[in-house]
């Protein structure tokens, strides 16, 4: 563990770090990830944008499950890993944070200017008029439309969806946009949906100006996040990957850390946050603990 922190500290202390985070960072806040030790991907077929928009039955199923799962997301609070990233940013070592998560926990921990690549689950958008409202308001409307709705809940996923059988979905009543009566959707990027081009461009700009890219809690399985690792590596920007388990970006990493983020990131912040940015240094190579 000491060698891991030494190697991380030597790189992060130079400053100019951009953090790219994934679902593995939020597991210690009680939100399971997709593919790590608490992962649920093998048991779950995600809702796609095409299915959601084309099928009223699919939308009812989604909102019934998400209505129950939202309680877990809404109760979640930042963990030591989120707070450590915020400390590193406050110390002037982290220049920006890009997250693939939709839970809003980076911002709740105090990080500033977070780019939420896939949106946020605490907001809802109307696909017809574009009206954007708070998820808490929708939660109250759904509760009023479905008094007493409850069902046994299985695993809660990072997108707030849960396991719920067809009997649990039967009779659930979704609600429409309060402004125009149009179709409501959580303000997140579904599978099969494209991340807004301006958001992607902003992230590429952050990565290209970074001294190093620190990936935390992401298996980098999907291209949405992995493309930033590829861009950094091709431009000679050191990539550090801290994740429990292998990732699809390991071949690009100058430094690889396989350890619980709730231990590694706070220890890293304790080591370097009080010092502030120093001269640039290079990483030594893969490290595990």
The whole-angstrom separation of Cα 33 and Cα 75 is 16
Ligand-binding site membership of 217 (annotated): yes
Which residues, 6+ apart, have CB-to-CB distance to 277 below 8 Å? Answer: 13, 14, 15, 16, 92, 93
Is the distance from CB of 109 to CB of 86 less than 8 angstroms? yes
Ligand-binding site membership of 203 (annotated): no
Ligand-binding site membership of 111 (annotated): no
User: Coil, strand or helix: which one is 200?
Assistant: helix
Structure tokens at 164: 């719920």
The whole-angstrom separation of Cα 197 and Cα 118 is 12
Ligand-binding site membership of 244 (annotated): yes
Alpha carbon 209 to its chain centroid, in Å, reads: 22
DSSP assignment of 96-146? EEEE---S-HHHHHT--S-EETTEEEEEEEETTT--EEEHHHHHHHHHHHS
Ligand-binding site membership of 102 (annotated): yes
Ligand-binding site membership of 160 (annotated): no
Ligand-binding site membership of 219 (annotated): yes
**In angstroms, how far is the first alpha carbon of the chain from the final one?**
5
Q: Which of 67, 82, 106, 118 is catalytic?
A: 118
Ligand-binding site membership of 218 (annotated): yes
The whole-angstrom separation of Cα 1 and Cα 263 is 9
The whole-angstrom separation of Cα 238 and Cα 229 is 9
Ligand-binding site membership of 89 (annotated): no
Ligand-binding site membership of 126 (annotated): yes
Check if 67 is active-site.
no
Dihedral over Cα of 35, 39, 44, 46: its sign? negative
SS3 content of the chain, % helix, strand, coil (to 5): 40, 15, 45
Instruction: Show binding-site residues.
Output: 100-103, 126, 129, 177, 180, 217-219, 243-245, 261
Catalytic (active-site) positions: 118
What residue numbers does the annotated binding site for Zn(2+) cover?
A: 126, 129, 177, 180
Q: Which residue numbers belong to the known binding site for NAD(+)?
A: 100-103, 217-219, 243-245, 261
């Amino acid at each position: 563990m000491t060698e891991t922190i030494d190697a991380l500290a030597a790189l992060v202390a130079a400053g100019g770090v951009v953090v790219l985070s994934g679902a593995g960072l939020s597991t210690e806040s009680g939100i399971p990830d997709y593919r790590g030790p608490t992962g649920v991907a093998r048991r779950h077929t995600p809702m796609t944008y095409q299915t959601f928009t084309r099928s009223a039955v699919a939308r009812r199923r989604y909102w019934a499950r998400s209505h129950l799962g939202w309680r877990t997301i809404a109760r979640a609070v930042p963990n030591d890993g989120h707070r450590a990233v915020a400390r590193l940013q406050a110390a002037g070592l982290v220049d920006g944070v890009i997250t693939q998560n939709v839970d809003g926990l980076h911002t709740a921990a105090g990080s500033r200017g977070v780019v939420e690549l896939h949106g946020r689950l605490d907001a809802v958008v109307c696909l017809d008029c574009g009206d954007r409202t708070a998820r808490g308001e929708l939660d109250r409307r759904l509760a009023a439309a479905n008094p007493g709705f409850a069902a046994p809940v299985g695993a809660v996923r990072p997108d707030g969806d849960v396991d719920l059988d067809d009997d649990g979905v039967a009779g659930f009543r979704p609600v429409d946009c309060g402004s125009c009566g149009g179709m409501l959707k959580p303000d997140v990027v579904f599978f099969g949906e494209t991340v807004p081009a301006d958001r992607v461009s902003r992230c590429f700009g952050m990565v290209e100006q970074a001294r190093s890219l620190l990936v935390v809690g992401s298996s980098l399985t999907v291209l949405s996040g992995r493309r930033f690792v590829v861009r950094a590596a091709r431009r000679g920007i050191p990539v550090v990957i801290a994740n429990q388990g292998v990732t699809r970006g390991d071949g690009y990493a100058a430094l690889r850390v396989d350890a619980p983020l709730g231990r590694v990131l706070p220890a890293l912040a304790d080591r370097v946050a009080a010092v502030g940015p120093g001269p640039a240094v290079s990483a030594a190579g893969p490290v595990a603990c």
